Chains A and B, each alone.
Chain A
Amino acid sequence: MKELPRILDGNTFVVCDERGDIEASSTDPTGLFSFDTRFLSTWVLTVNGDRLNMLSVDDLQYFETRFFLVPGTGTVYVDAKLSVIRQRAVGDGFHEELTILNHDENPVDLTIRIEAACDFADLFEVKDALEKKGKYYSRIEQGHLLLGYERETFRRETTIWSSQPCQVDDHGFTFTLHLEPDTQWTTELNVVTSMLGWARRTTPKYDSEHHHDAKPLMERSLERWLEDAPRLECDNDQLKRTYRRSLIDLAALRFAPPVAGGHSLPAAGLPWFMTMFGRDSILTSLQTVPFVPELSSTTLRALAAWQGSRVDDFRDEDPGRILHELRYGELSAFEERPHSPYYGNADATPLFVVLLDEYERWSGDTALVRDLEYEARMALDWIDKYADLMGNGYISYQRRKETGLENQCWKDSWDSISYHDGRLPGFPRATCELQGYAYDAKVRGARLARLVWKDNEYADRLEREAASLKRRFNKDFWVAEGQFYALSLDGDGTQVDSLSSNIGHLLWSGIVDKSRAKTIVKHLMGPRLWSGWGVRTLAEGEKRYNPIGYHVGTVWPFDNSFIAWGLRRYGFKQEAAQVAAGILDAAALFEGRLPEAFGGYERSVTKYPVQYPTACSPQAWSTGTPMLLLRTMLGLEPSGDHLLVDPALPPGIAWLGLLDIPGRWGAIDAFARARDDGRPRRRAAAAA
């Protein structure tokens, strides 16, 4: 599937066609979007009434694109004596520099027209094709065209103006030009979005009259980001390309929520998910702690600020619960959707504690751990007080209102959780990986309690609870016949007996009995789950298995990165390297940008990973995947003030060095080299 040109900055982004035009229908995600609202749905350029043809598109930066165009209606570029350049950068809206060049020996008279219109659709409306309830208006003031939408006191506006004189009407701008031979003409078009109330910027990035000033600032910010990240050196150029692509995409996905004092955290993905998600922001932060630890601290602070404080059925909120998703659009505003914010997930709360501990182990930032003590305790309390819906000592989930989410785990599609025979279980559901996260949260919480909060009694209690949970889990979830852990328990406490990738997350959390680890690894690397590229979400042979089913057979890169981490945790270095190699090989075929998911087809059959047909790319936790895989290949593990390195490289990488890894040790380098016999040679890390 060909990707449309996209540029973005935070939660403002533009998706257009290859000419730079926007002609959105009510259901497709093209347009200028900001704070989950479409602020421009039509933006079409014509010259003498004709549409233009694309010669080339240059993605200059993630926030800037240049389109080279020529007039003409057919597919053949006859007589291109005129060329048109549109250079567009996104900011608080966007800034477009439109240049017309006359290459002819004769002068020309031209009518340039920009059509502009807006439907002010909520992103949810674009997804689900809903009707608007408010009314539209437009005004022309001092050459500025203002497009607006109003429903009661809810108001969103787009203001557009040109630096060159033109005729402005309610539907756009008309320029009448006379161009002498070999001359050119340029105008700047500015599009500025505004919403009243919540997101009114208190510190504008730049004066809207001087839009172009923002660009060098964003360029510098990207340069600094790339300079500050650890440097990768290795003999595999594809891996270097993948790493660089990931760093740039991660920079693009940075989002500064109003509560983080200007700091950024990873938004979940473009275009549907440019907002704060508890699960996605935490998992991406976990993947990237060794590379960009500041994403973790911002994620923790922002999610703590929004931590649930009351029981609110509409939002599935409880005291201590970490939010699922925050949205700023019309449907949230009128409480037609519960995303203000919505709390319906069962994993982000324990994962919040897991991230806090992992972040401290790398950064040594005990000040943040002290600062978030209350929130971390609230999160740990939530596990037993609010998440145990069945009273059986396990986290389970069930939405309280129709508007909530049915599946509140990462596999959140309707058919993701099924028995071996394909039936769907009733609610509440206690998926297995949630219990692993709860176990890990208690173990890590105990470490923080001892180390930072100086509460040994609490630490002892958490450890006792963790040990008891592990014991019970290994009894209640173990499917004796198949020799693996059940995907879930259903509302009656019966095992949902499917073999799934979730067992890999259990290794990561450490809840798997040591004696059973080998059996679990055999399943993960066996023919039912292992496709050759990665571990499938659901095993072949399960009734609902489908190699292109969203959560029932596809391979998810992020899922595999955590499985690789789990394999390392239990000492299966070669298997972890094999997972890394499969996913990184796939990344190379996707030009360094891993999709959200790809088909679970056997590698030897398709030879090429088949991308799942989804519009979301880049996706944050796919972007973070190569970084976590680098960590697992190098075997990086903080230990006190030191960083342990214990590499295991897959075939295809002879040597690898990661330089200036930030952390409590300052900056350190890690190296790995394959030995002639295929086994890796260990090299000690040296402080830089």
Chain B
Amino acid sequence: MTGPTEKFFDELARRGNEPLLHRANGTMRFDLENGNSNGKGSGKNGVQQWFVTVKRGEITVARDGDRADSACRVSKALFDRLVTGEQNAMAATLRGLLTIEGDPELFVLFQRLLPARPPAATVPAQGGRS
């Protein structure tokens, strides 16, 4: 079964180059815990891992790896809602639902790939004259 998280990483892997991450260098590990989106997960056995490595904007996604520059721990249920924009990553972090270890800058750059809250907001105005 493919959920929003799987779709998100799958799409990210196919993206290849992402200009929003052109200043990023390093590997982010995502530890997605089973359990509900309002609490802690079910421990080590219930953790799904994703490794996202960025080199000057070139992205590779893997399900395993050894070292990471930053680790993000969050419930799988909440991550599903982050990648669809139903929840905001920074606000969730301030609420203690998501913890970052290691380089926080990688995560700040990464969270810019997440969408805004649906229904999709509209552009406030037409482009100006040129």
* Residues of A near any B CB (own CB < 8 A): 152-155, 195-198, 200, 202, 258-261, 304-307, 309-314, 317-318, 328-330, 332-335, 340-341, 371-372, 374, 384-386, 388-394, 398, 400, 465
Contact = CB atoms under 8 A, between A and B. Distances in A.
Given A314-B117, A389-B125, A202 B95 contact: no
Interface in B15-33: 19-20, 22-23
B45 interface: no
Given A202-B102, A312-B116, A314-B117, A340 B96 contact: no
Given A200-B99, A311-B122, A305 B108 contact: yes
B108 A393 contact: no
A333 B109 contact: no
Contacts of A307: 112
B124 A400 contact: yes
22 contacts: A153-B96, A195-B96, A196-B96, A196-B99, A197-B97, A198-B93, A198-B104, A202-B102, A259-B104, A259-B105, A259-B108, A310-B112, A310-B115, A317-B116, A332-B94, A333-B94, A334-B95, A384-B130, A386-B124, A388-B126, A400-B121, A465-B130
Contacts of A259: 104-105, 108
A394 B130 CA distance: 11
Nearest to B57: A374
Contacts of A333: 91, 94-95
B99 A388 contact: no
Given A259-B108, A310-B115, A333-B91, 4 more contacts: A155-B96, A197-B95, A312-B116, A335-B91
Contacts of A398: 124
Given A309-B112, A310-B115, A385-B127, A153 B95 contact: yes
B43 interface: no
A296 B124 CA distance: 31
Contacts of B122: 311
Nearest to B123: A311
Contacts of B124: 311, 318, 386, 389, 398, 400
A391 to B, nearest CB: 5
Interface of B is mostly: loop
Contact of A388 (B113, B115, B128): B128
B112 A334 contact: no
B90 interface: yes
Nearest to A154: B95
Interface of B: 19-20, 22-23, 38-39, 88, 90-91, 93-102, 104-105, 108-109, 112-117, 120-130
B14 to A, nearest CB: 19
Interface centre among B20, B94, B100, B104, by most chain A C-beta atoms within 10 angstroms, is: B94
A374 B19 contact: yes
Q: Which 3 A-B pairs have the closest CB atoms?
A: A388-B128, A333-B94, A312-B116
Nearest to B94: A333
Interface centre among A195, A259, A317, A341, by most chain B C-beta atoms within 10 angstroms, is: A259
B105 A391 contact: no
A154 B91 contact: no
A118 B39 CA distance: 26
A384 B97 contact: no
Nearest to B70: A202
A560 to B, nearest CB: 32
Contacts, number: 121
A197 B105 contact: no
Interface of A is mostly: loop
Contact of A340 (B90, B105, B117): B90
A607 B112 CA distance: 53
Contacts of B94: 154, 197-198, 328-330, 332-333, 340
Nearest to A259: B105
Contact of B128 (A261, A340, A393): A393
Given A335-B88, A340-B94, A388-B125, A153 B38 contact: yes
A294 B125 CA distance: 37
Nearest to B129: A393
A133 to B, nearest CB: 12
B96 A312 contact: no
A388 B127 contact: yes
Given A154-B96, A374-B19, A310 B105 contact: no
B108 A198 contact: no
B108 A309 contact: no
B100 A261 contact: no
A258 B99 contact: no
A371 B121 CA distance: 30
Nearest to A307: B112
Contacts of B127: 384-385, 388, 391
B116 A311 contact: yes
Nearest to A156: B96
A311 B119 CA distance: 11
Contacts of A198: 90, 93-94, 100, 104
Contacts of A385: 127-128
A202 B99 CA distance: 12
A340 to B, nearest CB: 4
A465 B128 CA distance: 12
Given A198-B93, A312-B121, A335-B91, A305 B109 contact: yes
A289 B31 CA distance: 42
A114 B100 CA distance: 36
A306 B108 contact: yes
B111 to A, nearest CB: 9
A685 B95 CA distance: 55
Given A312-B121, A341-B90, A153 B97 contact: yes
Contacts of A314: 117
B54 to A, nearest CB: 14
A312 B117 contact: yes
